[in-house]
């Protein structure tokens, strides 16, 4: 059965991994002679044929630079690039397509906000409010900008179970008249904690602070609407949502983007250039200096179509919630296994450790069984310290994973315990 979307005419199908798996060529390969069990989706997801084909089709049929060419190929490439922007705006509930800025990934999107908005506006004594579970992408840029501006970083604490202590915003005066920016992850890539971002954004707005959401782990898994969230900026990567590598999105409230200075200078982002000074193009082009990743944007739009054809984000979230519940149950039942993070609702992943087995050794052992999991600090070193570990293993799920794959993971972990005499 094909799941190639055809101009929105196909009736939505339920998210059935047994059916959808055939759309992903890589899932039929073997690793060390075993069928691939790909459980590293929080790092990057695999790509369905429709995405691979959409990207290849750009190069095959209408590769050209966008916006500037006055010829048919250029016009077709521009139309496809701008149609991709519009599709992504609709997908995230953005009423104005000008809010969608194409970047390389979530990291670049977050840096753009930190450097172009934060660095210009933060003053000594201002505060930037983060959480201890941020990915380095939403921590290090703020550290750099705080060091330049004299702003101070503060952190909303975690509760012992791994939830964010959102009550501390008001109770401990964390959000106050000095707070200029609140930048939080929507879904932790380690704990799976889902942040109640709409609540945080409302509180930030009431305090006159800007609200930035790192949605790298939520856009691929949950229905999401930037208008309902009420944030000022939202960042995500295409490659974690079945799209190509090298394309990501910064969504910004248009009035915020208008007031933000450019991040990169060069072609495309200017209106008029003199030898000594320049004026800027309108948003979003003001932030898209140089030749963009046209094929990446078109591939990302194909991924959005694909998510719809798989039943939509509600169906995908329901499937992944079932998988995650199964994984948590299975892992928590295993002897010597510690699973980190709160109970449901949580993101589609489980970070865990097996007593007496280093997570790197475990990942290598699992790989011999064809199972791909992540092991390490997951770009969240402060969180590792908070948990009192140097590293964890992490299994992360997507629309094509099955409960049977989680059972394969369980069996392999049991064999690893024996092998390592744990
Ligand atoms: C929560 C979170 N934020 C940001 C990122 C950075 O994404 P990228 O490396 O695609 O920029 C990741 C990647 O794992 C992540 O999990």
- In this prediction, residue 2 carries a pLDDT of 42
Strand partners, 220: none
Confidence of residue 8 (pLDDT cuts 50, 70, 90): very low
Architecture of domain 53-308: 3-Layer(aba) Sandwich (3.40)
From CA 412, how far away is CA 261, in angstroms rounded? 52
Q: Inform me whether the pLDDT recorded for 371 exceeds 90.
A: yes
- Beta carbon of 347 within 6 Å of any ligand 1 atom: no
Q: What value does the mean pLDDT take over residues 74-80?
A: 97
Confidence of residue 106 (pLDDT cuts 50, 70, 90): very high
Residues 6+ apart with CB under 8 A from 255: none
- Could you state, in order of their start, the residue ranges of all structural domains in the chain? 17-47+311-419, 53-308
- Beta carbon of 131 within 6 Å of any ligand 1 atom: no
Q: Which atom of ligand 1 is nearest to 134's Cα?
A: 1
Dig out the tokens for 287 from the structure: 């932030």
Give the residue with greater pLDDT, 137 vs 2: 137
Q: Cα of 110 to ligand 1 centre, how many Å?
A: 10
- Beta carbon of 111 within 6 Å of any ligand 1 atom: no
* Residue 32 burial (C-beta neighbours within 10 Å; 0-12, 13-18, 19+): exposed
User: Tell me: the pLDDT tens digits for 262-293?
Assistant: 999 999 999 999 999 999 999 999 999 999 99
Atom 16 of ligand 1, nearest CA residue: 189
Architecture of domain 17-47+311-419: Alpha-Beta Complex (3.90)
Torsions phi, psi for 284 (to 5 deg): -85, -5
3-state secondary structure 278-339: EEECCCCHHHCCCCCCHHHHHHHHHHHHHHHHCCHHHHHHHHHHHHHHHHHHHHHHCCCEEE
- In this prediction, residue 13 carries a pLDDT of 55
- In this prediction, residue 1 carries a pLDDT of 37
- Asked if 312 and 65 count as a contact pair (C-beta separation under 8 A), the reply is no
Q: What value does the mean pLDDT take over residues 71-94?
A: 97
Q: Which H or E element spans position 406?
A: helix 403-419
User: Tell me: the pLDDT tens digits for 378-394?
Assistant: 999 999 999 999 999 99
Q: Inform me whether the pLDDT recorded for 299 exceeds 90.
A: yes
- The reply to whether omega before 83 is within 30° of 0 (cis) is no
User: Tell me: the pLDDT tens digits for 145-156?
Assistant: 999 999 999 999
**Residue 95 DSSP one-character state:** S
Confidence of residue 69 (pLDDT cuts 50, 70, 90): confident
Q: What value does the mean pLDDT take over residues 163-175?
A: 94
Q: Inform me whether the pLDDT recorded for 3 exceeds 80.
A: no
Q: Which atom of ligand 1 is nearest to 109's Cα?
A: 11
Contacts 24+ apart (CB under 8 A), 202-208: 202/230, 203/169, 203/170, 203/175, 204/129, 204/175, 204/179, 205/230, 207/175, 207/176, 207/177, 207/179, 208/177, 208/179
Q: Inform me whether the pLDDT recorded for 28 exceeds 50.
A: yes
From CA 335, how far away is CA 367, in angstroms rounded? 21
What's the helix, strand, coil split of the chain in %, to 5? 45, 20, 40
Q: Inform me whether the pLDDT recorded for 11 exceeds 80.
A: no
User: Tell me: the pLDDT tens digits for 304-349?
Assistant: 999 999 999 999 999 999 999 999 999 999 999 999 999 989 999 9
- In this prediction, residue 5 carries a pLDDT of 44
- The percent of residues above 70 in pLDDT, for the chain, comes to 97
Q: Inform me whether the pLDDT recorded for 243 exceeds 80.
A: yes
- Beta carbon of 214 within 6 Å of any ligand 1 atom: yes
Q: Is 140 helix (H, G, I), strand (E, B) or coil?
A: helix
User: Tell me: the pLDDT tens digits for 181-221?
Assistant: 999 999 999 999 999 999 999 999 999 999 999 999 999 99
What is the average pLDDT score of the chain? 95
- In this prediction, residue 56 carries a pLDDT of 98
């Amino acid at each position: 059965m094909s799941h190639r979307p055809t101009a929105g005419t196909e009736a939505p199908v339920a998210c059935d991994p047994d059916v959808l798996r055939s759309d992903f060529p890589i899932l039929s390969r073997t690793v060390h002679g075993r069928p691939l069990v790909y459980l590293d989706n929080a790092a990057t997801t695999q790509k369905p044929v429709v995405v691979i084909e959409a990207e290849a089709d750009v190069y095959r049929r209408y590769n050209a630079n966008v916006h500037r060419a006055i010829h048919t190929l250029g016009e077709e490439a521009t139309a496809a690039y701008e149609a991709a922007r519009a599709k992504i705006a609709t997908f995230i509930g953005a009423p104005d397509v000008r809010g969608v800025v194409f970047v390389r990934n979530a990291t670049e999107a977050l840096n753009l906000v930190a450097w172009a908005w934060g660095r210009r506006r933060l003053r000594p004594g201002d505060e930037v409010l983060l959480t201890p579970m941020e990915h380095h992408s939403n921590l290090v840029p703020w550290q750099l900008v705080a060091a330049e501006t004299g702003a101070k970083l503060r952190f909303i604490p975690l509760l012992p179970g791994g939830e964010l202590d959102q009550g501390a915003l008001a109770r401990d005066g964390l959000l106050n008249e000095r707070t200029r920016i609140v930048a939080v992850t929507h879904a932790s890539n380690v704990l799976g904690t889902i942040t109640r971002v709409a609540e945080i954004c409302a509180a930030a707005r009431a305090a006159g602070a800007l609200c930035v959401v790192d949605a790298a782990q939520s856009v691929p898994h949950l229905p999401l609407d930037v208008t309902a969230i009420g944030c000022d900026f939202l960042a995500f990567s295409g490659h974690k949502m079945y799209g190509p590598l090298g394309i990501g999105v910064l969504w910004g409230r248009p009035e915020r983007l208008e007031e933000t200075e450019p991040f990169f200078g060069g072609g495309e982002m200017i209106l008029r250039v003199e030898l000594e000074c320049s004026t800027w193009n309108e948003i979003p082009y003001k932030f898209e200096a140089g030749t963009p990743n046209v094929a990446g944007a078109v591939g990302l739009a194909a991924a959005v179509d694909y998510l719809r054809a798989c039943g939509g984000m509600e169906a995908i979230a329901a499937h992944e919630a079932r998988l995650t519940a199964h994984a948590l149950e299975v892992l928590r039942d295993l002897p010597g296994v510690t699973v980190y993070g709160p109970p449901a609702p949580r993101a589609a992943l489980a970070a865990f450790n097996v007593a007496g087995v280093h997570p790197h050794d475990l990942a290598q052992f699992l790989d011999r069984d064809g199972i791909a999991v992540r092991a390490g600090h997951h770009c969240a070193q402060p969180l590792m310290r908070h948990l009192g570990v140097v590293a964890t293993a992490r299994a992360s799920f997507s629309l094509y994973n099955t409960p049977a794959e989680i059972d394969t993971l369980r069996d392999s972990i049991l064999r690893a315990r024996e092998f390592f005499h744990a």
